[in-house]
Chains A and B, each alone.
Chain A
Amino acid sequence: MKLTLKIWRQKNASDKGGFVTYPVDGVSKDMSFLEMLDVLNEQLTEKGEDPVHFDHDCREGICGMCSLYINGKPHGPLQTTTCQLHMRSFNDGETITIEPWRAKAFPVVKDLVVNRSAFDRIIQAGGYISVRTGGVPDANEIPIPKTIADLAMDAAQCIGCGACVAACKNASAMLFTSAKISQLALLPQGQVERKTRAEKMVAQMDAEGFGACTNTGACEAECPKGISITNIARMNREYFSAVVSSDNV
């Protein structure tokens, strides 16, 4: 395959940045999108140019490290992570536009790499449980109905890639935050900090500069893990009931 790549290049956080167009040749249809970028970077390195920086880690679709806004959609045309996207989803001779996630709370570090530590700070604000450490507890020690366990597992599938923020017209982090609040609020282990968690995580989400939700549903449609916006409704219930009943005046 022969492709033309229109890639956002930006030296550092304070650089203005801009698009640079690169032709790439010898791309196989079976390559993943990240492997295709590896081919480009080898060509750039051989020429003595600075390779394109992009985030990646496991390349198995489970770590949430890869990102990229490809041809106007987060993680490209399929509802999967960029590492699981293959070049057969594109046509020979196509021009592909690659941009970083765009959000005030996700500043560009370099090229296509953005700083997503705002998500870490939301988790630090309340996305944890207080448990007695020690040996591994026995299975089924705490009975949890299957339907509840399934809902919690669905929410826990969130890998924190930030596609929801990238897709949202308001760069809102509500799908992420709601998934993290939900997975703990649903389970018995999450009850101790339940109210404080909802209050603190929402407050941190606001402090990071993410936008609010307009219920467009774009986040759910683009989420590689299929996290549902029913979690956002649950977060709203958790938050509103927390603020009227918690001890935090």
Chain B
Amino acid sequence: MSWVTKTLSSSLGRKLIMALTGLFLILFLTGHVSGNMLLFKGDGGEAFNIYAKFMTTNPAVKLLSYLTYISVIGHVIYSIVLSQKNKSARPIGYAESKASTSSAWNSRNMGVLGTIILIFLVVHLQGFWAKMHWGEVPMVTYGEEEYKNLYLIVNEAFKQEWLVALYVISMGFLGFHLSHGFASAFQTLGLNHKKYTPAIQAIGKVYSILVPVLFAAMPLYIYFTS
């Protein structure tokens, strides 16, 4: 199996891992934003809380969640390894550079954008995900069954202006990261074709605006309605 480790430690193998984990995280974001749209339902959080229980107890979702954790960790670790390799490939930089004339800012700063998103992710997980799994969450009863009232936690959290601001700004960074990452992942996989690439690029641009805007709308909606 030495060919497997050899491939995965080559520059192309590392990029392959970045692309695959990135694309899986895009799938995750799609599911995450779709489910969280229940926050807009205006039913006092009933649908959202039922959904939250399903997402934390269903075995199939559990498997997907482990894949998500692996993808996040893999994406981060390989980005660090690749960034260090890439930095060491040019030990002495240029005194004058007009890089902006030949490439987009976000494409050159995926590491910076990713680091900001990672910091946001820590705050985000600590605020909701960790609370839902191990924290004290008040219970609520719908019909016969008891549910953790995650909706209440979300509502309380987004009464804080600074947190709403942090979420909205972070989604801006996520948008820039996705607007390069989406199409870039397909290019890395070797999927570049004159029939499909324009469509992939267009979908990537729409996705990188739509998903962060929907995510950012959630704290804003709660802040202004509660």
Contacts and interface: CB of A to CB of B under 8 A. Distances in A.
Contacts of B15: 212-213, 236
Given A167-B102, A212-B85, A236 B94 contact: no
Contact of A97 (B12, B92, B95, B108): B95
A71 B12 contact: no
Range for the number of chain B residues in contact with chain A: 35 or more
Q: SS class of chain B's interface: helix, strand, loop or mixed?
A: helix
B52 interface: no
Interface of A: 8, 19, 69, 71-73, 97, 99, 102-105, 167, 169-172, 174, 202-203, 205-206, 209-218, 221-222, 229-230, 232-237, 239-240, 243, 248-249
Contacts of B99: 72, 167, 169, 218
Interface of B: 2-3, 7, 10-12, 14-16, 82, 85-99, 101-104, 107-108, 110, 180, 183-184, 187-192
Interface-centre pick from A105, A212, A213, A232 (highest chain B CB count, 10 A): A212
A215 B102 CA distance: 12
Contact of A72 (B10, B89, B98): B98
Contact of B192 (A209, A211, A230): A230
A162 B108 CA distance: 19
B86 A214 contact: yes
B184 A215 contact: yes
A171 B90 contact: yes
Given A167-B102, A169-B90, A214-B108, 13 more contacts: A72-B97, A72-B99, A104-B89, A169-B99, A172-B11, A172-B89, A205-B11, A211-B85, A217-B102, A218-B103, A229-B192, A236-B16, A236-B190
Given A206-B10, A230-B192, A169 B102 contact: no
Nearest to A167: B102
Nearest to A210: B89
A69 B98 CA distance: 10
B190 A169 contact: no
B115 to A, nearest CB: 15
Closest 7 CB pairs of A and B: A233-B192, A211-B89, A237-B190, A72-B98, A170-B86, A221-B102, A216-B103
A233 B90 contact: no
A243 B89 contact: no
Contacts of B11: 172, 174, 202, 205-206, 210-213
Contacts of B12: 202, 212, 235-236, 239-240
